[in-house]
Amino acid sequence: MTPAATPFQLPQRLPQRHATTESPFVRRGLIAIALVFLGLFLVVPLVSVFVQAFSKGIAFYIHTLGDPNAWSAIKLTLLAAGISVPLNCVFGVAAAWAIAKFDFRGKNVLLTLIDLPFSVSPVISGMIYVLVFGAQGWLGHYRDAEHAWFPWLQSWINDHNIKIIFAVPGIVLATIFVTFPFVARELIPLMQAQGRIEEEAARVLGASGWQTFWRVTVPNIKWGLLYGVILCNARAMGEFGAVSVVSGKIRGETNTIPLHIEALYDDYNFAGAFAMASLLAFLALVTLGLKTWVEHKNAASSDKGEKL
């Protein structure tokens, strides 16, 4: 990785390139403006999370995290991410395979539809499941099976006493929705750029479909896949708006980490709220670190000049 500051192919003997670079005064000024802006908006908030988290000492920090409600929130967050990330991962690979390796009509429409969840407000993302599964919803728990849209599904929901809204399934569904496009949108451009020649060669040489996928495609897309999974996971564990609509916020039962943070904050237990928040802030730092590492790996491994 050469620094991007000197991309020009001029002979080295020339003393200075006045024409295509700024004076040191302007340069330092711009760097200072950028750093002050980023410092104020990124570094100060990040540092303050950890300072506030330990403002009442380590004992209080451990006490907050050891609380049964905190544990339940952590477990629920892990469960929601543990279900939604693999599902969206399978979807991402399937969608990328169909879109990148084949030609069909309506591809651009499909691409736009896959991106749709990103442009929907988190609150609305949660609300749509309330409209479907809520008490007055299409598949609501209390709805009479005879007047339901899908009678067999309705009677199954009623017979098994399945609660979706204000319960764990709703939280999982909302998390799946908000993290829906992450893996797909990383893999689609990557696999489109790679084309289908390598897979076709493998097939012609006698490999089965699955062999082609595992031995040719997967090694080619592994960094992109990992990148998508990291981003998907970060969003899944940190989602707040969508989850808060469908959760019902029962402490110790349907609170995820972000919802538990809100509950502690509303109780004026600021040190406790920031202690929980420090977990997610740490996760964010790990995410950024992994992301940078994957980008570095990807740049190193692909000689084709394809970027993530």
Partner 1 sequence: MTPKSSPAKKNRVLPGFKLTLGFTLFYLGLIVLLPLAAVFGKTFELTWPEFWHTITMPQAMASYRLTFGASFCAALVNTFFGLIVAWVLVRYNFFGKKIVDALVDLPFALPTAVAGITLAMLYSHNGWIGQRLEPLGIQVANTRLGVFVALTFIGLPFIVRTVQPILEDLDPELEEAAASLGANRWQIFWRVILPMLTPALLTGFALAFARALGEYGSVIFIAGNIPMKTVITPLLIMGELDMFDYAKATALAVVMLVASFALLLTINILQWWTNRYNTNNLA
Question: Which 121-160 positions form the footprint of partner 1 (CB under 8 A)?
Answer: 121-124, 127-132, 134-138
Q: Residue 207 CB, nearest distance to partner 1 (Å)?
A: 11
Instruction: Determine, following the binding rule CB under 8 A, whether residue 41 of this chain makes contact with partner 1.
Output: yes
User: Which positions from 253 through 282 interact with partner 1, judged by CB under 8 A?
Assistant: 258-259, 261-262, 265, 270, 273-274, 277, 280-281
Contact yes or no for 84/168 (Cβ under 8 A): no
Determine the size of the site formed for partner 1 (CB under 8 A). 106
Q: Residue 59 CB, nearest distance to partner 1 (Å)?
A: 21
Instruction: Determine, following the binding rule CB under 8 A, whether residue 38 of this chain makes contact with partner 1.
Output: yes
User: Which positions from 172 through 211 interact with partner 1, judged by CB under 8 A?
Assistant: 173, 176-177, 180, 196, 199-200, 203-204, 206, 209
- Residue 284, classified by CB atoms within 10 Å of its CB into exposed (0-12), middle (13-18) or buried (19+), is middle
Q: How far apart are CA 179 and CA 85, in angstroms?
A: 8
Instruction: Determine, following the binding rule CB under 8 A, whether residue 25 of this chain makes contact with partner 1.
Output: no
Q: Which of 69, 269, 287, 302 binds partner 1 (CB under 8 A)?
A: 287
Which tokens go with 46?
Answer: 């990040």
Q: Which of 21, 75, 86, 250 binds partner 1 (CB under 8 A)?
A: 21
Instruction: Determine, following the binding rule CB under 8 A, whether residue 239 of this chain makes contact with partner 1.
Output: yes
Q: How far apart are CA 254 and CA 165, in angstroms?
A: 10
Q: Which of 62, 75, 115, 219 binds partner 1 (CB under 8 A)?
A: 115
Instruction: Determine, following the binding rule CB under 8 A, whether residue 234 of this chain makes contact with partner 1.
Output: yes
Q: Residue 52 CB, nearest distance to partner 1 (Å)?
A: 6
